[in-house]
Amino acid sequence: MTNTTVKAPKGAIKPKKNNELTIIGRLQRSMVAYGLMAPFLILFCVFTILPVCFSIYLSFTYFNLMQAPSWTGLDNYIRMFLDDATFLIVLKNTLLFAIITGPLGYLMSFVTAWLINELGPKLRPWMTAVFYMPSLCGGMASMWTLFFAGDTKGYANSILLSVGIIRNPIYWLSDPSYVMTCIIIIQLWMSLGVSFLSFIAGFKNLSKDYFEAAAIDGVRNRWQELWCITLPQMAPQLVFSAVMTISSSFGSTLASQLAGSPTTQYSADTLVTYMNDVGSTRFEVGYAAAITVFMFVLMLLVNYVIRAMLSSFSTE
Amino acid sequence: MHAKHFLTRLAVLALTLVMLFSAFPLAAAADSAETDLQDQNVTGTTDQTENQTGSSADEDEEIVTQVDENSYSNYLKKIAGMPKSTKTVVIDLLTGKVNGSGEITSYEGKNAVLLKEGESLDVTVEIPETGIYYMDLEYCAVEYKGQDIELRLRVDGKLPFSDAKSIAFSRNFKDSTGILQDANGNDDVPDMEEVFLWKTVPLKDYVNYVNEPYCLYLEAGTHVISLQVEREALALTTLTLGPEKKLPSYAELKAEYDAAGFKDATTSLFDTMDDYIQAETPALKSSATLIALYDRTSPATLPYSPSKIRRNTIGQEAWSNLGQTLTYEFTVPESGLYEIGIKYRQCYAVGSFVYRDVLVDGVIPCKEFENVVFTYNNAWDYKVLSDADGNSCKIYLEKGKHTLSLEVSLGGWSAIMQEVDVINREFASMYRRITMVTSATPDPFRDYNLEDEIPGLIDDMNRIADNLEKQATALDALCNATGEESASSEALRSAVRDLRICAKKPDEIKRRLANLRDGVTNVSSWLNDNKKQPLEMDYLTVTAPGDKHPVPNANFWEEIVHFFKSFFASFTEDYNSISDSNSEDAVSIWISDGREQMQALKTLINSSFTVESGIPVKLTLTQGGLYEALLAGVGPDLAIGQARITPVNYASRGIAVALDDFDTFEQVKTRFMDGALDCYQMGGKTYGLPVTQNFFMLFYRKDIFQELGLSVPTTWDEFIDVTKTLQSNNMTVRLPYSSITMAGVQDGGIGMKDIFATLFLQRGGEFYSDDMTETQLGSDAGLEAFKFWTSFYTEVGVQVDVDFQTRFRTGEVPMGVENVMMYNTLSAVGSEIRGLWDMAPLPGTVQEDGTVNYTGAESGSACLIFNSAKNYENCWKFLDWYTRADTQHEYGTQVENMLGVAARYYSANLEAFSRLPWKQDELDVMEEQRSRCTVIPEVPGAYFFPRCIDSAFRDVQNKKKNPREVWLREVKTINKELDRKNKELGTGKYAENKEEEGK
């Protein structure tokens, strides 16, 4: 029973193979459909597929943005893995950042959405707006530079100073021991984004029948209800949100917005900010492209793993 | 792990601090606080002023204290009960004795004394009766540097009140052209020129808060009055001393008119709305900052266009300083009584109100025209000048030409501000006395015994609170009178509240110290903000009574139509580029700066460059995106105002043009300081020219230095000594540090990032090896400089992040090394410390042989030509013209005219720099510092210096690591990166390999 809701969209994405017709024949038959898809497909190819392919090509070249790229083979990749200490720091940061903010942010979104869903119909839209606000206002992150300002007047410092926990201000965003923690906290605050919204939508679409049936069948508590009834129904949202959260934490440029590019001793630089640094400060776009490609592969892998993990819900 | 370490460190730190505090500084602090008090008492007595009489002329500035006992408001109080004079004395200044080379010549049609900066004139006057006199001076500006004119007035060899040391006089400007249009049909600012006119003006305060003309109490008998020119040059004829001029009220004026039988006029000056006196084209203006502006928010603003830029208003924030005047000319068709109306918008002083004096033919006709109030409103408004009951004031005008002037006045603010200013200076000085005992961050658990340490503290607090409250109440009354409810006395009241709490519970002072400081800064910014009297005008009307008055705002449908028109026009109009020609061969220039700067440059190009060379120019305003545009083939021919590192970066990738081969290059080179081009050179070729240049200066508070008996340090050792003295008085110093996280730090070179580069250069260090492929920061000089530099933070106890501007003003940081541009900021906002601070050249390092090395580092911005340019020769001609002293000076002046002193332009052209409106002593110290600067070269990969130095610095500062170890580690990293860059670009030792590969 539960499978139907999940399989329907899958079916839409992958049309059943029809072996009787040639490719051209099939194209002709679905002409109208392709025509309708064309605007999106063209834009998608020009602005997504093409750049990805181009950056894969660039990753094998030396390119400084001003002169034509020249082929250098695997040089960029060799340098990346064998001759760049910074890359390793940055990779470590990225994984740490993604592992903490990804799942935590995901969980936070889910729990908040669940709690808000329990609220009355009048309060619910308000609370949704309140919680979604941080990710709506893109520049909001810069508010945190005030909070974590390094002088005695920054909020964090001034609170700690007045309570008497510290005697000297802490340079939150330039002392390598604190930067990463600060950035993670801010990212978590900001993580109630698209995934949160899709959870809210998911909760709204839940069919009441299952809950009634479960109540009759004797569900013991809310946890059991959540685990056995709510979650399986929400599988599409779960997958979508997981992918979104993990990609956003991989792609976060928060560090460079708040703590500069590069951060002190690269303490909070991630692959993306390092790529920006290499590409725009040092004009080594070939190498930057290699980093991008690496990140692309990394994200594909992670997404695959997530899907595999979450698929258990829908098959149960 | 971290937390544990952290706590132990904290505990140790706290212990040491407690020990330190209990050990020594208390006694010292108490002593100095007492002497401080005594000093102030002494300056307060009249004996002191008497003593000053005998002292020589130059000494009247010597005593610098925050609480000014000789201020004009105190002077007024002193002479309050004195009799008023009834006689008028006209003094012929031509009979005076001139000190200096001043001469008596015929100037602009009159015989006059011409005085230049520094020169003075003494006249002996016979005063017929004892009393209070008002002064009127007839003067005419003389072409000199182009700043405001300032005079110093002395009576019998001494200043009657301290404000008399600089009395300002305005200049006169007019538009020499009408409003111009560029090729896109957008309006440009008209060209402006100075006019030299004879004017008789009362001696008045244009800097502080006094609205009325200065008065002078003179006893009958012989006096010597001397006038010394502080700034600029002027011609003088007569000085008139006379009784106060009383204005009639409108009722009195009306009675006069009725007696004379004047009748209402029957025809207005205007047939249509287009005939109104357009405010944006005044006949005369007292300040060059008053330029025509544009308003595109309302279709009722004249002239109007939904899509193009129309210069249709004037004023706004530029027209907010006391004394700034706009004068209009109009012709009256028939003699009679007329009403005067103004269309204005006052949305700039939010929730507040501003004042203007309205002068008809140079005089205020009646009291109702003095201090006309304009209240806050977001929309345009129209006002007919009228009396308190709302009946319009009808003014008699003869047939013929007349002038109408509007002058900024402080109105009801004046009295309140004068008082608040005095109180706040006392408040600030009290705050400083407290911090000298407690430091800026007191220990909340210690008993400071402040009542005993600072005698009279509680009384002072109560007195200051009482006085502030009184002024706050007066302000509220004023607000009610003007009908504006929200004008805020809250800044004053919140200071009062904090003071009251502290006075009641002196134990609370240490916890509320930050509130007290905020109180001081809030009150002083309250003064700064409210002193500004901004107003915008669209047009003025002179109408016959009974004629219809215009409606200032458009109706709903007109607004809708306007909105749609301008919305759709925004798709096709390009407001970011101005160009006279859309032809292909125009030199296209990108400038990354403000719109005003672009406008100023555009005006100059039109009036000079294009006329001279016939080359059309297209200017575009951009931020970033340069290499992307060049890559896409839509980049400019040349760019101005680029980061220091840009020319070398672009040259090493082969897209910048070498400038050495242009014919006038050698001549252009001499315009800048020696070696100024070093940072734009690569492989012996020059790829850029400097545009601006800045360097560090030492800023210090004269009053505090004088109080503590300190002299300005000339070496770093002395600097540390001064720092220690200041620290023992619970003050600190500032050393610049730009964290790499700040925008632009990586591209600006390392010279101005912090003082490391300066210290390194002073130890004779060279940044690069001879072939420029390696850094020599790892040398002994480098290591030593790094150790010395970090010791400021680890041993001397200097903080990294300090809000220098605020704390310099409050006196917590009385000395600091800062970018010379801090001068702009302090001049523009630091009203409460005016005259209390100064600049000095940077300290030097004592060498082994005993000599002192004063070398300093510098930074700046550049301009360069790209090899995609259409015509190199034309581009070079532009750069040649652009870097000329005349161009740079004109440009700097224009920008400063539009934006005020905060936008002062630090031209790299030496002559242009020295021609900026500096005071001579300011210029001397700056030129001295500048002549000591060495230019640090840039190489590809130089962006690694800031981040590696920062990394090493943070390790030492945060983790207390061994400086030697981290320094050598980072030097190695830099060298590795430089090597990689050389390999990548085929420069340095890889140059040959590349050639071989090429073969």
Report pLDDT digits (tens) over B249-274: 888 988 988 898 888 888 777 777 77
The phi and psi torsions of B220 (rounded to 5 degrees) equal: -60, 145
Q: Is residue A146 a contact partner of residue A154, using CB atoms and an 8 Å limit?
A: yes
Predicted confidence at residue A57, as pLDDT, reads: 92
Q: Which residue from B minimizes the CA distance to A64?
A: B653
Predicted confidence at residue B578, as pLDDT, reads: 65
Predicted confidence at residue A44, as pLDDT, reads: 93
Predicted confidence at residue B6, as pLDDT, reads: 52
- Those residues whose C-beta lies under 8 Å from the C-beta of residue B68, and which sit 6 or more positions away, are B74, B162, B422, B425
Please state, rounded to an integer, the average pLDDT across all residues of chain A.
81
- Helical (H) or strand (E) element with A160: helix A155-163
Lowest-pLDDT range of A162-176, B317-331, B713-727, B940-954: A162-176
Q: Is residue A168 a contact partner of residue A160, using CB atoms and an 8 Å limit?
A: no
DSSP B526: H
Query: Do A151 and B958 count as a contact with CB atoms less than 8 A apart?
Result: no
DSSP assignment of B936-954 equals PP--TTTTHHHHHHHHHHH
Q: Say if residue B458's pLDDT is above 70.
A: yes
Q: Say if residue B324's pLDDT is above 80.
A: yes
Predicted confidence at residue B311, as pLDDT, reads: 85
> In whole angstroms, what is the distance from residue B278 CA to residue B342 CA?
10
Q: Is residue A275 a contact partner of residue A293, using CB atoms and an 8 Å limit?
A: no
Signed CA dihedral, B485, B488, B490, B496: sign only: negative
Predicted confidence at residue B581, as pLDDT, reads: 60
Please count the helices (runs of H) and the strands (runs of E) in chain A: 18, 2
Predicted confidence at residue A313, as pLDDT, reads: 62
Q: What is the mean pLDDT of residues B100-126?
A: 84
Lowest-pLDDT range of B178-187, B499-508, B727-736: B178-187
**What angle, 0 to 180 degrees and rounded to 10, lies between the N-to-C axes of helices B457-482 and B490-504?**
160
Query: Do A283 and B653 count as a contact with CB atoms less than 8 A apart?
Result: yes
> In whole angstroms, what is the distance from residue A203 CA to residue B476 CA?
56
Q: In this predicted model, which residue has the larger pLDDT, B5 or B369?
A: B369
Q: How far is CA B141 from the centre of its chain?
A: 23
Amino acid of residue B364: I
Q: In this predicted model, which residue has the larger pLDDT, B149 or B994?
A: B149
Predicted confidence at residue B698, as pLDDT, reads: 94
Give the β-pairing of B733-734 and B815-819.
parallel
Shortest Cα distance, chain A CAs vs residue B409, angstroms:
37
Query: Minimal CA–CA distance to B880: which of B858, B905, B859, B909?
Result: B909
Q: pLDDT for B216-256, tens place per residue?
A: 898 888 999 988 888 888 888 889 998 888 888 888 988 98
> In whole angstroms, what is the distance from residue A147 CA to residue B505 CA?
31
Q: Say if residue B815's pLDDT is above 90.
A: yes
Q: CB pairs below 8 Å between A and B: how many? A: 74
Q: What is the mean pLDDT of residues B479-503?
A: 80
Instruction: For chain A, say whether B631 makes contact (Cβ under 8 Å).
Output: yes
Best mutation site among B441, B741, B798, B957 for testing chain A: the one with the most A CBs within 10 Å? B741
Give the pair of three-digit tokens for residue A9.
């969209």
Best mutation site among A142, A170, A274, A282 for testing chain B: the one with the most B CBs within 10 Å? A282
Lowest-pLDDT range of B2-11, B562-571, B578-587, B796-805: B2-11
Predicted confidence at residue B30, as pLDDT, reads: 37
The answer to whether the pTM exceeds 0.90 is no
Q: Is residue B754 a contact partner of residue B736, using CB atoms and an 8 Å limit?
A: yes
Give the β-pairing of B638-642 and B587-591.
parallel
Predicted confidence at residue A4, as pLDDT, reads: 43
> In whole angstroms, what is the distance from residue B966 CA to residue B783 CA?
10
Q: Say if residue B672's pLDDT is above 70.
A: yes
The phi and psi torsions of B316 (rounded to 5 degrees) equal: 55, -140
Predicted confidence at residue A138, as pLDDT, reads: 63
> In whole angstroms, what is the distance from residue B77 CA to residue B474 CA?
19
Query: Do B654 and A173 count as a contact with CB atoms less than 8 A apart?
Result: no
Specify which of B60-69, B184-193, B411-420 reaches the highest per-range mean pLDDT. Answer: B411-420
Query: Minimal CA–CA distance to B744: which of B896, B891, B901, B943?
Result: B943
Q: What is the mean pLDDT of residues B85-107?
A: 83
Specify which of A127-141, B139-153, B482-496, B692-706 reaches the highest per-range mean pLDDT. Answer: B692-706
Instruction: For chain A, say whether B624 makes contact (Cβ under 8 Å).
Output: no
- Which chain B residues are Cβ-neighbours of A283 within 8 angstroms? 627, 649, 653
Q: In this predicted model, which residue has the larger pLDDT, A140 or B313?
A: B313
Q: What is the mean pLDDT of residues B643-659?
A: 87
Predicted confidence at residue A242, as pLDDT, reads: 81
Q: What is the mean pLDDT of residues A260-278?
A: 84
> In whole angstroms, what is the distance from residue B836 CA to residue B209 CA?
18
Amino acid of residue B564: F
Query: Do B653 and A64 count as a contact with CB atoms less than 8 A apart?
Result: yes
Q: Say if residue B20's pLDDT is above 70.
A: no
**CA count, 13 A, side-chain hemisphere, A274:** 27
Please state, rounded to an integer, the average pLDDT across all residues of chain B.
82
- Those residues whose C-beta lies under 8 Å from the C-beta of residue A305, and which sit 6 or more positions away, are none
Shortest Cα distance, chain B CAs vs residue A69, angstroms:
12
Q: Say if residue A70's pLDDT is above 70.
A: yes
Q: Which residues of A touch B (CB under 8 A)?
A: 62, 64-67, 149-153, 161, 164, 166-169, 171, 173-177, 259-265, 281-284
Give the pair of three-digit tokens for residue B5.
């370490």
- Which chain A residues are Cβ-neighbours of B14 within 8 angstroms? 167
Q: Is residue B843 a contact partner of residue B716, using CB atoms and an 8 Å limit?
A: yes
Give the confidence band of A45 by pLDDT, cuts at 50, 70, 90. Answer: very high
> In whole angstroms, what is the distance from residue B686 CA to residue B651 CA?
9
Q: In this predicted model, which residue has the larger pLDDT, B81 or A8?
A: B81
Instruction: For chain A, say whether B954 makes contact (Cβ under 8 Å).
Output: yes
Q: Is residue B141 a contact partner of residue B172, using CB atoms and an 8 Å limit?
A: yes
Lowest-pLDDT range of A120-129, A146-155, B277-286, B883-892: A146-155
- Which chain B residues are Cβ-neighbours of A176 within 8 angstroms? 954, 958
- Which chain B residues are Cβ-neighbours of A62 within 8 angstroms? 984
Q: In this predicted model, which residue has the larger pLDDT, B140 or B388?
A: B140
Instruction: For chain A, say whether B806 makes contact (Cβ under 8 Å).
Output: no
Predicted confidence at residue B209, as pLDDT, reads: 80
Q: Say if residue B511's pLDDT is above 60.
A: yes
> In whole angstroms, what is the distance from residue A76 CA to residue A287 CA?
5
Give the pair of three-digit tokens for residue B944.
């690694």
Helix (H, G, I), strand (E, B) or coil at B201: strand
Nearest to A65 among B631, B741, B954 (CB): B631
Other Cβ atoms closer than 10 A to B6:
14
Give the confidence band of B507 by pLDDT, cuts at 50, 70, 90. Answer: confident
- Which chain A residues are Cβ-neighbours of B441 within 8 angstroms? 152, 161
> In whole angstroms, what is the distance from residue B703 CA to residue B724 CA?
18
Query: Minimal CA–CA distance to B502: which of B550, B559, B460?
Result: B460
Q: In this predicted model, which residue has the larger pLDDT, B184 or B886?
A: B886
- Those residues whose C-beta lies under 8 Å from the C-beta of residue A65, and which sit 6 or more positions away, are A283, A285, B627, B628, B631, B653
Predicted confidence at residue B442, as pLDDT, reads: 78
Q: Say if residue B549's pLDDT is above 70.
A: yes
Shortest Cα distance, chain A CAs vs residue B498, angstroms:
17
Question: How many residues does the structure list for chain A?
Answer: 316
Residues of chain B above pLDDT 90, percent: 13
> In whole angstroms, what is the distance from residue B779 CA to residue B784 CA?
9
Residues of chain A above pLDDT 90, percent: 12
Cα separation values, B502 from B242, B431, B457, B492, B506, Å: 49, 12, 10, 16, 5
Q: Say if residue B881's pLDDT is above 60.
A: yes
Instruction: For chain A, say whether B630 makes contact (Cβ under 8 Å).
Output: yes
Nearest to A265 among B14, B649, B951 (CB): B951
Burial of residue B681 (CB within 10 Å: 0-12, 13-18, 19+) is buried
Quote the ipTM score: 0.76
- Those residues whose C-beta lies under 8 Å from the C-beta of residue A246, and which sit 6 or more positions away, are A98, A102, A106, A299, A302, A303, A306
Q: What is the mean pLDDT of residues B324-338?
A: 89
Predicted confidence at residue B27, as pLDDT, reads: 36
Amino acid of residue A35: G
Helix (H, G, I), strand (E, B) or coil at B218: strand
Q: Which residue from B minimizes the CA distance to A62?
A: B984
DSSP assignment of B867-919 equals TT-S-HHHHHHHHHHHTSHHHHHHHHHHHHHHH-GGG---BSSHHHHHTSS--
> In whole angstroms, what is the distance from residue A249 CA to residue A186 CA?
12
